[in-house]
Amino acid sequence: MTTVPVSYASLPRFPRDFVWGVSTSAAQIEGAVAEAGRGRSSWDVFAAQAGRIKDGSDARVATDHYHRYREDVALLRGLGVGAYRFSVAWPRVVPDGGGAVNAAGLDFYDRLVDELLAAGVAPVPTLFHWDTPQALEERGGWLVRETAEHFAAYADAVAARLGDRVERWITLNEPAELTLLGYGLGQHAPGRRLLFEALPAAHHQLLGHGLAVQALRARGAGGIGIANSHGPTWAASGDEADTSAAELYDLLLNRLFAEPLLLGRYPGEEWDLAGMLPGPVAEDLKIIAQPLDWYGINYYQPTSVGAPREAGGGAPAEFAGIEIPAELPFAPREIEGYPRTDFGWPVVPAALTELLVSFRERYGDRLPPVVITENGCSYEGIEDSERIAFLDGHLRALHAAMAAGVDVRGYFVWSLLDNFEWAEGYARRFGLVHVDYETLRRTPKASYHWLREVLREQARQDRG
């Protein structure tokens, strides 16, 4: 029998209209990669290449959400969340990335949205969560402007079908990770290793976001945001070399993806980032900086950064399972003194408070209301007390940021289900629900039951 700790009763009270949700992505859970006219994605092709996925797996079946979505919506209903953040698979809707829309692909999301609404769960679709249509990838992917334009047309097609029932939208998920890991370091699809020459992928994703916002607004959509990954950057020491390296890392992973949206400009005049980017950058920034209804932040951990230990070369190092080229002008360092997840990530709830307060201080009234669009951890086991402690600590840290004046409107746990964890394959489990990958049986974990009680307690407090 699953036992549930009682700490949920001592959590601080969140506002009555606070949005509680969980998140997933299509490429990680749907499966059915060759059904109903779906085209190939960059991740389909990447996973088929020997050595790309650490356990040799792929996502052809994943958790089979495409066929089992009713079962998964029932889990959402049982959990008691008010919203479900899922992603729409671009190659399922527009198989070639541009051109003809696949009505059968949209039919699946039609059914999913209706099932969610019938269960009392608000649908929050993300239009792009890394699964670029392979046909576009073969023409340059996000390195070329054409992809941003096709993305806007795809956004319009989804809004035309679902817009009458969807009140919140997310354009992109974590453009920083796709730029860095997919185009910069080659660790994720499409597997390019371009280092700083990957920066056009950042610009074109942001341009695609702005064009998609325009397309959604033209369809009458509101409640539009983005899901950017952010975390505090800590200098490895007070030495000037380490602080300068940390500032550059923070610029590339945080400011590069926040300031074009919030301030309408690229940061880092000393690095002339705008000069490294393609196209009419000044004109593009006017499109990128479309007003947002809210700003989504995915938070997992802070990063300690210092100068490379061997200037000008040396062997690459591995950090958090990612190979870091020695020629980069910064190097992540291990953060000591904190518990770690099974992924090896440090658990630092206070860094979430630090991050949110720093965003409010840096951007002031240019920062829209914030939603935590992802926060979670990888642990094995169904009696997952470590995940409960993680979520408990981060909810308290979130509340502390709100008490300090940050306008936070919602919190989404990553993830509802154990799933295909990108280059890690099925070796990492982030779900509130355990999935047996042989039988696909779903089993709610202790953390699922704990969060259900958290939400019930919040509702009891609301009733007063």
Closest CA to 148 of 131, 164, 136, 138: 136
Six token digits for residue 424: 């890690």
239-261 tens-digit pLDDT? 999 999 999 999 999 999 999 99
| Predicted pLDDT of residue 158 | 99
Cα 84 to Cα 123: distance, rounded to the nearest angstrom: 5
**Closest C-alpha among 428, 295, 302, 451 to residue 373:** 295
pLDDT score of 463: 87
Q: Catalytic annotation on 269?
A: no
pLDDT per residue as tens digits for the range 334-367: 999 999 999 999 999 999 999 999 999 999 999 9
Angle (nearest 5°) at CA 425 between 419 and 427:
80
Contact 413, 451 (CB under 8 A): yes
For residue 322, what pLDDT band results from cuts at 50, 70 and 90? confident
Q: Which of 8-12, 21-25, 138-142, 389-393 has the lowest mean pLDDT?
A: 8-12
The yes-or-no verdict on residue 452 having pLDDT over 50 is yes
Is the confidence at residue 312, as pLDDT, over 80?
no
Q: Which two tokens stand for residue 78?
A: 């049982």
Residue 146 has pLDDT above 80, yes or no: yes
What pLDDT, on the 0 to 100 scale, is given for residue 208? 99
Q: Is residue 1 part of a domain?
A: no
| Domain count within the chain | 1
- In this predicted structure, the answer to whether residue 36 has a pLDDT above a threshold of 90 is yes
Confidence band, pLDDT 50/70/90 cuts, at residue 2: very low
Whether the predicted pLDDT of 233 surpasses 90: yes
Q: What's the mean pLDDT when you consider all of the chain? A: 95
- pLDDT tens string 388-446: 999 999 999 999 999 999 999 999 999 999 999 999 999 999 999 999 999 999 999 99
Flag the least confident range among 98-107, 134-143, 175-184, 274-283.
274-283
272: which residues sit within 8 A by CB, 6+ positions away?
Answer: none
pLDDT in the model for residue 3: 47
The residue count for the chain:
464
Per-residue pLDDT at 50: 98
The verdict on residue 202 lying in a domain is yes
Query: Which three-class secondary structure state does DSSP give residue 322?
Result: strand
Q: Is 186 contained in some domain?
A: yes
Q: Are 209 and 171 in contact (CB under 8 A)?
A: yes
Catalytic option among 115, 174, 354, 386: 174
Q: Please determine, for residue 151, whether its predicted confidence score (pLDDT) is greater than 60.
A: yes
> Does pLDDT of 47 surpass 50?
yes
In a domain, 65, yes or no: yes
Q: Which domain holds residue 127?
A: 7-463
Secondary structure of residue 66 in the 3-state scheme: helix
Q: What is the pLDDT of residue 275?
A: 83
pLDDT band at residue 324 using 50, 70 and 90 as cut-offs: confident
Question: What is the H or E stretch that residue 128 is in?
Answer: strand 122-128
Q: Are 367 and 360 in contact (CB under 8 A)?
A: yes
| 2 in a structural domain | no
From 374, 386, 421, 453, active-site residue: 374
Instruction: Work out the average pLDDT over 21-30.
Output: 99
Q: Is residue 437 part of a domain?
A: yes
- The predicted pLDDT at position 105 comes to 98
Is 108 part of a structural domain of the chain?
A: yes
In sign, the C-alpha dihedral spanning 278, 279, 283, 287 is negative
What is 81-96 written as a DSSP string? -SEEEEE--HHHHSTT
CATH number of the domain where residue 283 is located: 3.20.20.80
What is the average per-residue pLDDT within 80-104?
A: 98
pTM: predicted TM-score of the whole model, two decimal places: 0.97
- CA 322 – CA 94 distance, rounded (Å): 32
Residue 5 neighbours by CB distance under 10 Å: 15
Give me the DSSP letters along 226-243. EEEE---EEESSSSHHHH
User: Is residue 240 annotated as a catalytic residue, yes or no?
Assistant: no
Band of residue 7 on the pLDDT scale cut at 50, 70, 90: low
Residue 277 included in any domain: yes
4 pLDDT tier (thresholds 50, 70, 90): very low
